[in-house]
């Protein structure tokens, strides 16, 4: 199933060119704050699935193009992100480490945005904001110390994810924390609909230019390893999101660009980019040119 969030926070199942409203069967109250209904739905998925399947026949149908898709899990406990998890990206960044020996960082859940929201570029003269195309994993059953071989028991589904970043030497989390710097969507494709997440083609265009073209088989730390490592440190909760890392081809985006990410069997997002007027701080007072830009 493809589980979407749309409109004012309704839950829908994507059926061809339509989204079918299953909010009531999903047990989600769109007025609830914080908006943790999707987390609860994921936690209760096995019990709720029959009612959701039944609601598919009767729920209101809205054309996808008019639905107003939102990010599927807006209030996860955490967004876990693995840096330098493809060798070719490590080479382009001249990074002397890889995710398997470096571990992960966290992105704030407040950086999440939806497939139809624009990425707001902070007003940082002389600095570049880069796209990172990533497969997003949505955790289903939580847990601590999850063994590699048990990884499939803990994955709810998959989504497209953009890990946006101001390139530079400042604290990584700081540069990746801006609002709208983590578009996720266009929906969650449940794990049973993805044949083999370790063999997925992933492509990213900016406008007509193909920038990133990779396959998840080239991950350095694989999906079982990412779940095992994260849960060695932290308890994973239903709805937690893992950004699995980006391949080579990262680059800048500017006002007016549209970032297109396509992941086989998972989905496609076309995310517009707008220049904002806020977001500058004294941290960025001294313009810095990262090595990846000097190489050009």
Residues that bind Mn ion (CB under 5 A): 132, 163, 246
Closer of 163 and 240 to Mn ion (Cβ): 163
Find the shortest distance in angstroms from Cβ 237 to Mn ion.
Answer: 21
User: Closest approach of Cβ 176 to Mn ion, in Å?
Assistant: 8
Instruction: Give the whole-angstrom CA distance, residue 248 versus residue 225.
Output: 21
Q: Where are the alpha helices (DSSP H) in the chain?
A: 23-26, 37-43, 45-55, 64-67, 87-92, 99-102, 172-175, 223-233, 291-294
Residue among 71 and 190 whose Cβ is closer to Mn ion: 71
- The nearer residue to Mn ion, 30 or 173, going by C-beta atoms, is 173
Minimum distance from residue 123 beta carbon to Mn ion (Å): 23
Residue whose beta carbon is closest to Mn ion: 163
- Residues near 172 by Cβ (< 8 Å), separated by ≥ 6? 83, 105, 165
Instruction: Enter the tokens of residue 95.
Output: 């990074």
3-class secondary structure, 20: strand
Q: Please say which residue, 1 or 204, places its beta carbon nearer to Mn ion.
A: 204
A 10 A CB-CB count for 214 gives 22
Smallest distance, Mn ion to C-beta of residue 62, A: 33
Cβ contacts of 49 within 8 Å, gap of 6 or more: none
Q: Cβ of residue 238: shortest distance to Mn ion, in angstroms? A: 23
């Amino acid at each position: 199933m493809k589980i979407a969030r749309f409109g004012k926070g309704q839950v829908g199942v994507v059926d061809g060119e339509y989204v079918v409203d299953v909010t009531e069967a999903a047990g989600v109250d769109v007025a609830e704050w914080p908006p943790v209904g999707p987390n609860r739905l994921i936690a209760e998925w096995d019990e709720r699935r029959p009612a959701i399947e039944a609601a598919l026949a009767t729920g209101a149908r809205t054309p996808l193009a008019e639905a107003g898709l939102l990010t599927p899990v807006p209030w996860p406990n955490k967004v876990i992100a693995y840096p330098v998890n493809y060798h070719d990206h490590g080479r382009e960044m001249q990074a002397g480490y890889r995710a398997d020996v470096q571990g992960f960082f966290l992105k704030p859940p407040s950086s999440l945005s939806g497939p139809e929201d624009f990425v707001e570029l902070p007003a940082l003269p002389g600095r570049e904001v880069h796209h990172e195309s990533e497969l997003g994993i949505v955790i289903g059953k939580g847990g601590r110390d999850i063994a590699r071989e048990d990884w499939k028991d803990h994955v709810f589904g998959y989504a497209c994810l953009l890990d946006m970043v101001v390139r530079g030497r400042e604290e990584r989390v700081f540069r990746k924390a801006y609002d709208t710097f983590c578009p996720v969507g266009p929906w969650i494709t449940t794990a049973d609909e993805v044949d083999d997440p370790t063999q997925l083609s992933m492509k990213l265009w900016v406008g007509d230019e193909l920038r990133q073209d990779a396959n998840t088989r080239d991950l350095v730390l694989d999906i079982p390893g990412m779940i095992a490592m994260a849960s060695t440190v932290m308890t994973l909760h239903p709805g937690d999101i893992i950004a699995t890392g980006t391949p080579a081809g990262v680059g800048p985006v500017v006002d007016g660009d549209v970032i297109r990410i396509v992941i086989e069997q998972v989905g496609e997002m076309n995310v517009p980019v707008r220049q904002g007027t806020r977001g500058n701080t004294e941290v960025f007072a001294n313009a810095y040119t990262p090595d990846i830009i000097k190489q050009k």
